[in-house]
Amino acid sequence: RQVLEIGAMQPLHCTALGKVLSAFDPVAHSEALESDRKAFTERTVCELEEFEQILDVTRARGYAADVEETWEGVASIAAPIHDRRRMPVGAVGITGAVERLCRSDEEGALRPELIAAVRDCARAVSRDLGAGRF
């Protein structure tokens, strides 16, 4: 069981929240590129070129994922929150056991209904901040 303390710092390169912020926020992107991208598990992406490809995919699909990249047995999904100028101001995400967030029929594949729920939540918060329709 993983427990995070409020305010605990997590790496940008291997958490869903960190990846989504790195993909959409230029400041977080710079920090992620300049930081030491160390491996936490054998699934952690540390190479710059591969990390940039993940950020490109994150921008294209509108959410980020982490399946056992930071902790064994833990997965997460995150989506960006934008303000009225469509600037990234934060992110929303969920974290849980791989058995709960991933499909049982395909290893590492996140459950589509959870991806949709996270994206819908981020869109709703963004709309409340005046971002309009996405």
What was the pLDDT predicted at 45? 94
CA distances from 134 to 50, 74, 116, 127 (A): 27, 29, 13, 9
CA distances from 4 to 7, 10, 24, 47, 132 (A): 8, 9, 24, 26, 33
CATH of domain 16-128: 3.30.450.40
Q: Give me the residue spans of the domains in the chain.
A: 16-128
What was the pLDDT predicted at 10? 82
- Assign 109 to helix, strand or coil: coil
Q: What is the pLDDT along the chain (134 residues), one digit of tens a residue?
A: 556 667 767 889 999 999 999 999 999 999 999 988 999 999 999 999 999 999 999 999 999 999 999 999 999 999 999 999 989 999 999 999 999 999 877 777 999 999 999 999 999 999 999 887 65
